[in-house]
Amino acid sequence: MAKTQRDYDGIPGTYVFDGERHRMGYRLNMMCMSLNEPENREEFQTDEAAYCDRHGITPEQKRAVLDRDWLEMLRLGGNIYYIYKIAIIDGVSFQHVGGVMSGMTESEFRQMMLDGGRHDG
Amino acid sequence: MAEVAYGVATSHTPSIGAAIDNNREEEPYWAPLFEGYEAGRKWMADAEPDVIILAYNDHASAFDLDLIPTFALGVADEFPIADEGYGPRPVPAVEGHSVLAWHLAENLILDGFDMTICNNMPVDHGLTVPLSIMYGKPDKWPAKVIPLAVNVIQYPPPTGKRCWDLGQAIRRIVHDFDEDLSVAVFGTGGMSHQLQGERAGWVNTPFDKAFLDKLVDDPLSLTRISHVELLSDAGSEGIELVMWLIMRGALGENVREVHRHYHVPASNTAAGLMILESEEHTAFL
């Protein structure tokens, strides 16, 4: 089924976490939620693929998690605050993740923010 | 008689909390932000509110996708600090005001606001960073805090108008509470920022500055901004600004601006701080 048209579809580079994305991403996001528990963080780090399998996410979502393909996680229903819990485990910042998503290095992204942020798009 | 005397609007960016926790406030990156907080902290030490009703959003800490309350009020006597993935922030646990919280919960519901009532509610950076911004690093938070968690993560968040109306109701209901208490309402989050997608890093300083101006003397115009306009102009996470309207609605029609500060960046966010005092001495409406 095609995604319902929304008034915010025209905003570029933006993945609004609406009901349709929630339905796609429920298991992925709940898997990320489990990483609030220290013992789950350890388990995830020990065997990420097995952890993904146990949480029943789709093969595409699993690929995106293993590849740290943040944009793909968003496309497949990931919510930024949930998937960021994986970045916390990796010890990377929101600026790193923001850079990866927008095709910049972390230092380029950081400099863009120091210069007043992104104004295009 | 209790009264909403003060309003504070501030960003709640986690990296601001980390800068405070790790004593980095004077580093060149952070100093321009924290210099603007100094006047706020001085004011806070003089104002000494007894209770803070703190509107914030939970970030996948107390709530997950199984339960998404639009407005959740914390009625417990204490709220633990959440582990968001790094371990809990090294800040004091938050002491609640159960009696006032229940007065609010009961009367808000009777007034038409269908609040979710929470006891077990670990609080995350959305609530603790604003306290750190205003108080620094005390051994114990000087005020009791009633957490008011607002969903802004799952689309759609409540409208700006609904947040404004909730703030007005909070003002009336606090006024009816039969104990002398000075109350501050905090609206947190924002200002413009976007954490996700190819548009990550979005900042809109003209929008933010106009928002600050209108928050003081034309707040009703802010209640008419649609969600699509907020997403587009303030960024996908800048939609948090609806929570500032709870604060403003709770102050009554006339306010005095005490302090404002605006700085880009705090990591990926345009950071704003505005302190207002209510000039209404009775509940309006």
Closest-approach residue (CA) in chain B for A18? B155
Farthest CA pair distance, chain A: 44
Backbone phi, psi, residue B182, to 5°: -100, 125
Which amino acid, residue B41?
R
Digit-coded pLDDT (tens) for A32-64: 999 999 999 999 999 999 999 999 999 999 999
Show residues of chain A in contact with B227, CB under 8 Å: 8
Residue B125 designated active-site: yes
Cα→Cα distances B223→B103, B128, B271, Å: 26, 26, 21
Strand partners, B184: B6, B52
ipTM of the assembly? 0.96
- Answer whether 0.80 is exceeded by the pTM: yes
Contact A17 B199 (CB under 8 A): no
Q: How far is A61 from chain B (nearest CA, A)?
A: 16
The confidence score (pLDDT) of residue B86 equals 86
Q: How far is B240 from chain A (nearest CA, A)?
A: 13
Candidates B66, B200, B205; nearest CB to A116? B205
Q: Does B32 touch chain A (CB under 8 A)?
A: no
User: Among residues 124-183 of chain B, which lie with CB inside 8 Å of chain A?
Assistant: 153-156
DSSP string, B169-205: HHHHHHHT-SS-EEEEEEEE--SSB--SSTTTTB--H
Per-residue model confidence as pLDDT tens for chain A (121 residues): 667 899 999 999 999 999 999 999 999 999 999 999 999 999 999 999 999 999 999 999 999 999 999 999 999 999 999 999 999 999 999 999 999 999 999 999 999 999 999 998 7
Residue B281 designated active-site: no
Helix runs in chain B, H state only: 14-21, 31-47, 98-110, 125-135, 160-175, 205-217, 219-223, 227-234, 242-249
Contact B60 A109 (CB under 8 A): no
d(C-alpha B270, C-alpha A65), whole Å: 29
Contact B203 A116 (CB under 8 A): yes
Q: Are B197 and B231 in contact (CB under 8 A)?
A: no
